[in-house]
Amino acid sequence: MSKPFKPVATVASLKRMAHHIKVEEGVTQSVALDRAAQRSGYENYAHARRMISARLGDAAGGVPPQRPPARRVTAFQSEARGKWERAVVDPLLGPLSPTRTWDDVDAIVRVLNRVLGATDNHALLPTGGGMDLKGAARSQERGCLELRIRDRHVYVVKPRRLVLESFPDALAESFFILEADPLDLVPIDDERFDDDYDREIVLARRREGGRQEVLELEPGVYQSRAAWDEGILGHDGDGEEIPLPSSARLMVRWLRGRFMILSTGSLWNGVPATYDGGHDRMTDKMIRDAIQYALDELGEAA
């Protein structure tokens, strides 16, 4: 298996990216430089300078600069990229343009199903990590949709909009951003608290975490996910196990955040550092710029 691709960057390109970060996020220059380096796969700006210097060679010492190696693409990645390229030019998505936006829930569901069903995709989560998505559907919760992870396991999101950012000359690097509107916590039937203070502490932690995991027994009826993990609802009066109903599902309700949906064969998906949820703190333009920097560097290295 090939090593994960790490976007190549020059010091100049990192500084350009840092300038955007400084303006967009209102941080100091040093913080912006570190963040630009981290989003390019380095530990920090100092680490990036050392690695770039080692790659290019010490010109003063007479070592000739070395171009970075070309990216190795596996057969799976190549196939995934081809599927994604075909999906983003689907007529259902409308005329090809750098940015396309949908803000109607039904339209978002149609677009996602068209793309998710035809591609090898991956969704990067607001809090870090990622999941492959199998499809989308209207949720029983008003104004919400469900993202299907696997049978009986769904994410619930209240979408604000879905954006597709495309690169005409590199369609496989196109990506979706699904922005979530705030969603309130739902009460859990079997949950008990010691007192009101304990209740507020627990709920505050959930809000801070940005997600609520519940066992949905039927629409609108929720229990703690512990029953899902145990595989039973408890025991009856005779001590016999009470099985979960066939309608039971593990549901993760996302209270806010931005999901980045992209091809498994894309540059962004091949960088371990992008799994920290950093896209949730970036604007669409910042993500576009970071990808364009990587494409420019690869073009120079070819």
| 270-295 per-position pLDDT tens digit | 888 888 899 999 999 999 999 998 88
Determine how β-strand 221-224 pairs with β-strand 211-218. antiparallel
pLDDT of residue 196: 74
Give yes or no for a contact between 161 and 182, defined as CB atoms under 8 angstroms apart: no
pLDDT at 4 over 60: no
pLDDT of residue 178: 98
Q: Please state the rounded mean pLDDT for residues 187-194.
A: 73
Is 189 domain-assigned? no
Is 170 domain-assigned? yes
Is 92 domain-assigned? yes
The pLDDT-based confidence of 197 (bands split at 50, 70, 90) is: low
Give yes or no for a contact between 46 and 302, defined as CB atoms under 8 angstroms apart: no
Name the residue among 141, 162, 165 with its Cα closest to residue 254. Answer: 141
In this predicted structure, which of 67-76, 99-108, 225-234, 276-285 has the lowest mean pLDDT? 67-76
Is 216 domain-assigned? yes
Share of the chain above pLDDT 90, in %: 43
Q: Please state the rounded mean pLDDT for residues 244-263.
A: 93
pLDDT of residue 5: 39
Tell me: do 36 and 178 sit in the same domain.
no
pLDDT at 41 over 70: no
Q: How many structural domains compose the chain?
A: 3
pLDDT at 58 over 80: no
- Residue scoring higher pLDDT (205 or 64): 205
pLDDT of residue 110: 96
pLDDT at 76 over 60: yes
Tell me: do 150 and 261 sit in the same domain.
yes
DSSP-derived 3-state class of residue 76: helix
pLDDT of residue 63: 42
Is 162 domain-assigned? yes
Q: What are the structure tokens assigned to 144, written together?
A: 């919400």
Map tokens 């949950």 to a residue. 191
Q: What are the structure tokens assigned to 268, written together?
A: 């962004």
Tell me: do 53 and 160 sit in the same domain.
no
Give yes or no for a contact between 175 and 287, defined as CB atoms under 8 angstroms apart: yes
Q: Please state the rounded mean pLDDT for residues 90-102.
A: 91
Is 209 domain-assigned? yes
pLDDT of residue 32: 82
Other beta carbons within 10 angstroms of residue 82's beta carbon come to 16
> Which segments of 211-299 are extended strands (E)?
211-218, 221-224, 232-235, 241-243, 249-254, 257-263
Q: Please state the rounded mean pLDDT for residues 67-71.
A: 45
Q: Please state the rounded mean pLDDT for residues 224-246.
A: 83
Among 17-21, 47-51, 77-81, name the most confident range.
77-81
Is 18 domain-assigned? yes
pLDDT of residue 121: 94
pLDDT at 2 over 80: no
pLDDT of residue 72: 58
Q: Please state the rounded mean pLDDT for residues 82-94.
A: 92
Tell me: do 83 and 111 sit in the same domain.
yes
Tell me: do 200 and 178 sit in the same domain.
no
Q: Please state the rounded mean pLDDT for residues 236-259.
A: 90
Tell me: do 42 and 79 sit in the same domain.
no
Residue 238 sits in which domain range?
196-253
pLDDT of residue 73: 61
Query: What does each C-alpha distance from 186 to 62, 190, 211 come to in angstroms?
Result: 66, 12, 11
Tell me: do 151 and 298 sit in the same domain.
no
Other beta carbons within 10 angstroms of residue 65's beta carbon come to 9
Longest dimension (CA), the chain: 84
The pLDDT-based confidence of 67 (bands split at 50, 70, 90) is: very low
pLDDT at 70 over 50: no
Tell me: do 147 and 218 sit in the same domain.
no
Tell me: do 207 and 85 sit in the same domain.
no
118-160 tens-digit pLDDT: 899 999 999 998 999 999 999 999 999 999 998 889 999 999 9
